[in-house]
């Protein structure tokens, strides 16, 4: 049998995947039998050498990578296409959302954004007792985890302290599910200390939610707002991200003669090529795929002009350490002031270039810089601008070393702070750390607490017990477990004091 | 030594085990107890510049200058080989900090801090510095939000406490054992002053936490536990007892051969304390 057919056969017969998971991998194989969107020779070579990486989004982009529908549309107007009237009660509103999710595509086929839930549902909560609200949220949460089992699926709450947010935090800590992932928007001028403390106590319990620095994000976007989805990507509501292509800064550094050559010549060259890669993919999506002739656009859930492109980078730590060595300096990234300063210069230079480069089809005609969190097949390269696993300094020094990067990464940057489990006896320390990080300019605060079964692998959540079961060939109903298992085996993330790694999508099927 | 200067073994800007919230912890060098169970034994002694550590340092960060040990911090890679080479449980890497130096560090890390804790060694051996530091923190318009805590073995006498307590928000106090002979075996000193300190501090409303290290064969006995329960009850309402489990981490010398305290052992003692009416009993989050 030909290798391509053999691979398809092995997907079909795989003992650890369920039928739905198999169907998804089969669809990826089919898409990738098509030729890649037209690329010039230089860009194609850079992609081939993996200096650039398209995150294996597929050869024929027929849907945006991330879609963030404005769910308030269906909740206020209903949907003609779905034959739904505007809901009037909380039950009807939740039911509308449950239906809506099944019509929202993404790179994984499962929606990455389930909405800013407290804002969406509060108008339907008058007359609902706290207990009824709690019970309804619990059923809703169970539904999300069981029918849309992917840890990239993300719910948002905050910044106000309200009944729905509180019910969700209570349910989330109680159920400790992988899905949905959760972000609380924190605004010191609006959020109460009490709700932030509930949120950080939840982190101690289950490493969720992630806390977003709302004032900084709000300034980055417009009145229609933003959502935090998937692995901490900040994107426009009623739009999203058409694509995410990333540069491996380590590979770029290996091709440079020194710091000046890196900043002045080699990096700008690959920035240019990455723009060409994104443009080629977006041309296909916008001009050929017919994605935008959809009821989602007709009914106003999304707008064609609100999709940005995420300009990703990763391997900052390795790039800086390589350049330090070339320049005859020994200081390491994350620890040495000179090395850290070099990192900030690289981030600033990237940001300047990305801001200055027009990109057709993109929201505001620009891409947005993103510190990309890695995928399960990355080896010997650290996600985004993070400090390599297992070598991180204490959480305060960690935040201080990375904070100056945060101003540059408009579409998201996440450090995952690994906190030892002694914090369980003193959760106020985590509250302080969170407040400190956000006050110093961190765009987002994310922590894993050691010994929790539920841990974050680069951004998405996995259960360690699921990984163990999967590796024993028992299969998992959760898509991201496969990624977690790959990441754990391939990247040493579980060696990390507590743990972390890898990002997004399940790139392709591997036995 | 200048009373405004401290001999410091180490400074941490992140600690969630040295008082409420996240704390700036300053480990002061030197202790008047000599506990075989100490998990920071290199903080006990004071360097006498014998020079035995110099050849142990692969980074050449240590040298003798005019008969005194000199430490080049920039060259140090924190391998701690010098600590293992030291014959008197001292630390050649100690540095001298003034009150203003510490205030500067606190300011730089202020958004991340709930307070400052002086630990050790035995923090109260550098009482003048400690008092001056806490006084300065309370008077500083920016830093006064920080609470000032001491981690102590309680050997300080009432006069000493009367000097520092007015500027101290809370004390974590260790009682190593109730039986005087056991206390002597575990620390080299008697326990009369520690017990008296506990009462003084509790009366003053400054006893944040009474700590009791459970060492199998020494302090897990029925008699010790009963005395702990009695003592805690005698202090009255509002006392918080933290049970620490003896572990091998950091321990050098003979206690490395002693058995570790297990979770069931600690939980058993915690249950007895609760039964005797102590409302707040804290047990370790981690057993290593």
**What ipTM goes with this model?**
0.88
List Cβ neighbours of B260 (8 Å cut-off, separation of 6 or more): B216, B245, B246, B247, B248, B287
At A497 the pLDDT is: 29
Mean pLDDT rounded to a whole number for chain A = 89
- Confidence at A509, pLDDT banded by 50, 70, 90: low
Strands (E), A71-161: 113-116, 154-157
At A495 the pLDDT is: 39
Give chain A's contact residues with B (Cβ, < 8 Å).
394-397, 399, 420-426, 428-433, 435-437, 439-440, 451
Q: Is A441 exposed, middle or buried (0-12, 13-18, 19+ CB in 10 A)?
A: middle
Place of tokens 């106090």: B173
Contact state of B112 with A432 under an 8 Å Cβ cutoff: yes
At A380 the pLDDT is: 87
Of A396, A422, A431, which is closest to B285 when you measure between CB atoms? Answer: A422
Q: Identify whether the C-beta of residue A141 lies closer than 8 Å to the C-beta of residue A107.
A: no
- Confidence at A4, pLDDT banded by 50, 70, 90: confident
**pLDDT above 80: residue B133:** yes
Q: With beta carbons under 8 A apart, name residues in chain B contacting A428.
A: 20-22, 114
Average pLDDT score over residue span B108-122: 96
CB-hemisphere CA count at 13 Å for A161? 12
At B9 the pLDDT is: 93
Give chain B's contact residues with A (Cβ, < 8 Å).
12-17, 20-23, 109, 111-114, 282, 284-286
Contact state of A426 with B16 under an 8 Å Cβ cutoff: yes
Average pLDDT score over residue span A337-353: 97
CB-hemisphere CA count at 13 Å for A296? 25
Model confidence pLDDT, tens digit, residues B10-37: 999 999 999 999 999 999 999 999 999 9
Handedness of CA A232, A236, A240, A244 (dihedral sign): negative
| Closest alpha carbon within chain A to B21 | A429
Render the burial of B226-243: b for 16+ CB within 10 Å, e for the rest. ebbbebbeebeeebbbbb
Contact state of B22 with A429 under an 8 Å Cβ cutoff: yes
Render the burial of B76-89: b for 16+ CB within 10 Å, e for the rest. beeeebbbeebeeb
How many CB pairs below 8 A link A and B? 61
Contact state of A424 with B22 under an 8 Å Cβ cutoff: no
CA distance B42 to B86: 8
CA distance A182 to A179: 8
Tokens representing B178 are: 């109730």
Average pLDDT score over residue span A402-424: 91
Contact state of B22 with A437 under an 8 Å Cβ cutoff: no
CA distance B214 to B207: 20
**pLDDT above 70: residue B254:** yes
List Cβ neighbours of B28 (8 Å cut-off, separation of 6 or more): B6, B7, B8, B9, B43, B118, B119, B120, B121, B122, B123, B125, B126, B129, B130
Tokens representing A406 are: 């945060």
Q: Identify whether the C-beta of residue B154 lies closer than 8 Å to the C-beta of residue B175.
A: yes
At A433 the pLDDT is: 96
Which of A25-29, A328-332, B221-225, B250-254 has the weakest average pLDDT?
Answer: B250-254
Q: Identify whether the C-beta of residue B15 lies closer than 8 Å to the C-beta of residue B117.
A: yes
Sheet with A210-213, side-by-side order of all strands: A113-116, A154-157, A181-186, A210-213, A444-449, A416-419
Q: Which of B34, B32, B16 is nearest to B24 (CA)?
A: B16
Q: Is A94 exposed, middle or buried (0-12, 13-18, 19+ CB in 10 A)?
A: buried
Q: Where are the alpha helices (DSSP H) in A177-230?
A: 193-206, 214-220
**pLDDT above 90: residue B82:** yes
- Confidence at A109, pLDDT banded by 50, 70, 90: confident
Beta bridge partners, A444, equal A212
Average pLDDT score over residue span A430-456: 86
Strands B23-28 and B5-12: antiparallel
CA distance A365 to A363: 5
pTM comes to 0.88
| Closest alpha carbon within chain B to A450 | B286
Report residue A458: phi and psi, to 5°: 65, -5
Which of A265-279, A397-411, B233-247 has the weakest average pLDDT?
Answer: B233-247
Q: Identify whether the C-beta of residue B112 lies closer than 8 Å to the C-beta of residue A429.
A: no
User: Number of helices (H) and strands (E), helices first, in chain B?
Assistant: 8, 11
Percentage of residues in chain A with pLDDT exceeding 90? 72
Residue A54, Cα to own-chain centre: how many angstroms? Answer: 15
In the DSSP assignment, the letter for residue B189 is: S
CA distance A267 to A278: 16
Q: Identify whether the C-beta of residue B95 lies closer than 8 Å to the C-beta of residue B8.
A: yes
Average pLDDT score over residue span A224-247: 95
Q: With beta carbons under 8 A apart, name residues in chain B contacting A425.
A: 16-17, 282, 284-285
List Cβ neighbours of A216 (8 Å cut-off, separation of 6 or more): A406, A441, A443
Q: Which of B182, B103, B95 is nearest to B135 (CA)?
A: B103
Of A420, A423, A433, which is closest to B112 when you measure between CB atoms? Answer: A433
> How close does chain B come to A431, measured CA to CA in Å?
8
Which of A420-429, B190-199, B217-226 has the weakest average pLDDT?
Answer: A420-429
> How close does chain A come to B22, measured CA to CA in Å?
4
Q: Please write down the HEC assignment for all residues of B75-110.
A: HCCCCCHHHHHCCCCCCCCCEEEEHHHHHHHHHHCH
Model confidence pLDDT, tens digit, residues A183-215: 999 999 999 999 999 999 999 998 899 999 999
| Closest alpha carbon within chain A to B23 | A429
Of A397, A420, A425, which is closest to B13 when you measure between CB atoms? Answer: A397
Q: Where are the alpha helices (DSSP H) in chain B?
A: 81-85, 99-108, 127-139, 158-164, 180-187, 192-203, 222-235, 263-275
At A498 the pLDDT is: 27
DSSP A283-336: HIIIIIS-TTSSHHHHTTSS-GGGEEEEEEEE-HHHHHHHHHHHTT--PPTTT-
């Amino acid at each position: 049998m030909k290798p391509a057919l053999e691979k398809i056969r092995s997907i079909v017969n795989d003992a650890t995947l369920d039928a739905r998971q198999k169907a998804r991998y089969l669809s990826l194989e089919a898409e990738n039998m098509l030729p890649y969107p037209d690329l010039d020779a230089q860009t194609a070579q850079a992609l081939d050498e993996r200096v650039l990486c398209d995150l294996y989004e597929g050869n024929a982009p027929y849907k945006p990578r991330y879609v963030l529908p404005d769910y308030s549309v269906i909740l206020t107007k209903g949907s003609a296409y779905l034959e739904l009237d505007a809901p009037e009660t909380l039950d009807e509103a939740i039911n509308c959302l449950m239906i809506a999710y099944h019509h929202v595509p993404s790179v994984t086929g499962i929606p990455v954004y389930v909405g800013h839930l407290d804002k969406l549902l509060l108008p339907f909560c008058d007359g609902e007792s706290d207990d009824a609200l709690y019970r309804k949220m619990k059923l809703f949460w169970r539904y999300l985890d069981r029918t849309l089992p992917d840890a990239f699926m993300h719910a948002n709450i905050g910044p106000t302290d309200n009944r729905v947010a509180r019910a969700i935090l209570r349910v989330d800590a109680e159920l400790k599910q992988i899905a949905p992932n959760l972000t609380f928007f924190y605004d010191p001028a609006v959020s109460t200390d009490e709700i932030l403390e509930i949120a950080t106590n939840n982190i101690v319990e289950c490493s969720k939610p992630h806390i977003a620095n709302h004032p900084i994000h709000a300034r980055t976007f417009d009145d229609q707002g933003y959502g935090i989805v998937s692995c901490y990507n900040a994107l426009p509501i009623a739009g999203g991200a058409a694509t995410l292509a990333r540069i491996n800064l380590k590979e770029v550094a290996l091709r440079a003669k020194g710091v000046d050559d890196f900043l002045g010549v080699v990096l700008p060259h690959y920035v240019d090529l990455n723009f060409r890669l994104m443009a080629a993919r977006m041309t296909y999506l916008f001009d050929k795929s017919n994605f935008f002739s959809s009821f989602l656009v007709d009914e106003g859930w999304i707008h064609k002009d609100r999709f940005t492109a995420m300009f990703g980078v990763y391997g900052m730590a390795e790039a800086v350490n390589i350049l330090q060595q070339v320049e005859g300096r020994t200081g390491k990234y994350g620890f040495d002031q000179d090395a850290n300063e070099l990192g900030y210069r690289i981030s600033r230079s990237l940001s300047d270039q990305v801001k200055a480069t027009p990109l057709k089809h993109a929201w505001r005609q620009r891409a947005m810089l993103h510190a990309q969190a890695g995928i399960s097949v990355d080896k010997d390269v650290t996600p985004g601008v993070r400090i390599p696993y297992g070598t991180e300094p204490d959480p305060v020094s960690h935040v201080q070393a990375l904070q100056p990067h945060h101003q540059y990464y408009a579409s998201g940057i996440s450090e995952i702070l690994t906190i030892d489990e002694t914090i369980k006896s003193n959760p106020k320390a985590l509250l302080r750390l969170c407040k400190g990080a956000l006050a110093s300019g961190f765009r987002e605060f994310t922590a894993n607490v050691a010994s929790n079964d539920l841990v974050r692998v680069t951004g998405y959540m996995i259960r360690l017990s699921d990984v163990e079961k999967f590796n024993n060939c028992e299969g998992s109903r959760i898509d991201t477990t496969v990624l977690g298992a790959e990441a754990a085996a391939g990247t040493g993330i579980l060696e990390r004091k507590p743990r972390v790694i890898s990002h997004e999508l399940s790139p392709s099927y591997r036995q | 030594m200048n009373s405004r200067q401290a001999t410091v073994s180490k400074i941490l800007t992140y600690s969630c085990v040295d008082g409420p919230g996240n704390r700036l912890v300053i480990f002061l060098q030197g202790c008047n107890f000599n506990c075989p169970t100490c998990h920071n034994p290199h903080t006990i002694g004071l360097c006498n510049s014998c020079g035995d550590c110099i050849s142990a340092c692969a980074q050449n960060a240590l040298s003798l200058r005019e008969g005194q040990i000199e430490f080049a911090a920039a060259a140090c890679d924190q391998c701690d080989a010098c600590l293992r080479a030291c014959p008197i449980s001292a630390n050649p890497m100690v540095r001298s900090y003034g009150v203003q130096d510490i205030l500067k560090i606190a300011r730089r890390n202020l958004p991340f801090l709930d307070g400052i804790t002086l630990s050790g060694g035995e923090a109260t051996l550098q009482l003048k510095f400690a008092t001056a530091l806490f006084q300065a923190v309370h008077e500083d318009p920016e830093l006064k939000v920080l609470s000032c805590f001491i981690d102590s073995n309680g050997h300080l006498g009432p006069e000493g406490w009367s000097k520092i307590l007015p500027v101290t928000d809370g004390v974590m106090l260790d009682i190593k054992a109730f039986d005087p002979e056991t206390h002597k075996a575990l620390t080299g000193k008697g326990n009369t002053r520690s017990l008296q300190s506990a009462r003084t501090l509790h009366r003053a409303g400054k006893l944040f936490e009474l700590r009791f290290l459970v060492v199998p064969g020494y302090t897990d006995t029925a008699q010790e536990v009963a005395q702990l329960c009695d003592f805690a009850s005698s202090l009255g309402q509002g006392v918080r007892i933290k049970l620490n489990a003896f572990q091998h981490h950091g321990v050098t010398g003979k206690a490395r051969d002693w058995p570790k305290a297990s979770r069931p052992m600690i939980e058993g003692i915690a249950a007895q304390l609760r039964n005797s009416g102590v409302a707040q009993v804290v047990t370790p989050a981690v057993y290593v």
